[in-house]
Amino acid sequence: MAYVLAVAQSTEAHTPEQARRRLCQFGEHLRDAVVGARGIDMAVIDSETAADTIYAIDRVADDALLGWFEAHWTGVEVVSEGLEEPVVVGNDADAAWTVIVDPIDGTRGLMYDKRPAWCLAAAAPRGGTLRDVVAAAMTELPTAKQGAVDQISARSGGGLVAERVDLRTAERAPLAVRPSSARDLEHGFSGLAKFFVPGKVALAELETELFRRLGASHVFDDEYICSGGQLHELMAGHDRFVADLRPLVDPAAMACHPYDVCTAMLLTEAGGVVTDPWGGLLDAPLDTTSPVAWVGYANPDLAAWIGPVLVEVLADVLGARPDR
């Protein structure tokens, strides 16, 4: 579920730091809406779009989104696969920012209460692309048994602001976010995203060949079925290497979209590395349909070691090479 929003310049949010704060506030609003929706059948399919399947819990987020921007951040054009046409909130002519949002990244895990999801939001100058994002925030959407949630945000070059929030008292405490400093993959979590049946065999073969060439034999596999969750695991020091290469294997299959990786800059701010499959700068239009292949590393040493081998494997196994 995703939206693209063009946000007007105002005294409330005309700097990257102010935008970061607004994105955090929006994430908290979505978190409260999701927590308040417990008790509904979240897994009921509401609709199908070109970008994704919309479940009942996604519709809760949809209903919560526009009202918040009307009250707190006006001058907004909302574009969604759930809308037949854009919805403008306030004066579109004054819009200066593009804000891309995925209200619930990880719907499938959350709706079965298996794993938390994430509200992802990022801001760039209007007309920019993923590489132009200057502020981002990801807010954890908890499972029923959780008593605390994390929120991680940053403005470009400003370092991370990370906090853990007690859901009962609303008390906030600083959260240490440290990607792994490991220089190999042995006895750690790493892998390729292969969530769905289409492309699974080819992706598993790619993963096997990559690890073989790296000489990595004791690698643990744990697929967090959302890109925001994967980025969090890299930032938190849980995972060392994650790659989502689905568009290269099966262009027609469900893939990652720009809103799924709109908070990738947070991993960079934490000291990790995010690239395209060939080691270049990750970039994409800020829309809801473009397929995105991306690679995340916990640190530059891993990127320097794994990246060139991954390029070789993609060329040898798939015949895939960069367009540039």
Q: Band the pLDDT of 234: cuts 50, 70, 90.
A: very high
Q: What is the DSSP string of 208-260?
A: HHHHHHHT--SEE----SSHHHHHHHHHTTSEEEEEE-HHHH-TTS--B-GGG
Q: Band the pLDDT of 12: cuts 50, 70, 90.
A: very low
What is the rounded distance in angstroms from the CA atom of residue 205 to the CA atom of residue 56? 35
> What pLDDT digit, counting tens, does each position of 183-212 carry?
999 999 999 999 988 899 999 999 999 999
Q: What are the CA-CA distances from residue 192 to residues 2, 122, 185, 255, 314 (Å)? A: 23, 25, 13, 13, 13
Amino acid at 244: D
Residue of higher predicted confidence among 83 and 100: 100
What is the rounded distance in angstroms from the CA atom of residue 207 to the CA atom of residue 162? 32
* pLDDT at 105 exceeding the cut of 70: yes
Sign of the C-alpha dihedral computed for residues 234, 219, 277 and 183 taken in this order: positive
Structure tokens at 75: 């001058």
* pLDDT at 82 exceeding the cut of 70: no
* pLDDT at 100 exceeding the cut of 70: yes
Structure tokens at 139: 């807010």
What is the rounded distance in angstroms from the CA atom of residue 226 to the CA atom of residue 13? 29
- Per-residue pLDDT at 10: 44
Backbone dihedral angles phi then psi of residue 153, each to the nearest 5 degrees: -145, 170
Using a pLDDT cut of 70, give the percent of the chain over it. 87
Structure tokens at 289: 């349909």
* pLDDT at 79 exceeding the cut of 60: no
Q: Band the pLDDT of 36: cuts 50, 70, 90.
A: confident
Residue 323 DSSP label: -
Question: Which residue in 280, 283, 268, 278 sits closest to 309, CA to CA?
Answer: 278
Cross-strand bridge partners of residue 273: 297
* pLDDT at 257 exceeding the cut of 60: yes
Backbone dihedral angles phi then psi of residue 95, each to the nearest 5 degrees: -60, 130
Strands (E), 116-262: 117-125, 135-141, 148-155, 160-166, 172-174, 188-192, 219-220, 239-244
Residue 279 DSSP label: S
Residues in Cβ contact with 308 at an 8 Å cutoff, skipping those fewer than 6 apart: 279
What is the rounded distance in angstroms from the CA atom of residue 190 to the CA atom of residue 184? 10
Q: Are 246 and 253 in contact (CB under 8 A)?
A: yes
The domains of the chain, with CATH numbers, are 3-174 (3.30.540.10), 188-318 (3.40.190.80)
- The pLDDT mean for the chain works out to 88
Q: How many CA atoms lie within 13 A of 278 on its CB side?
A: 10
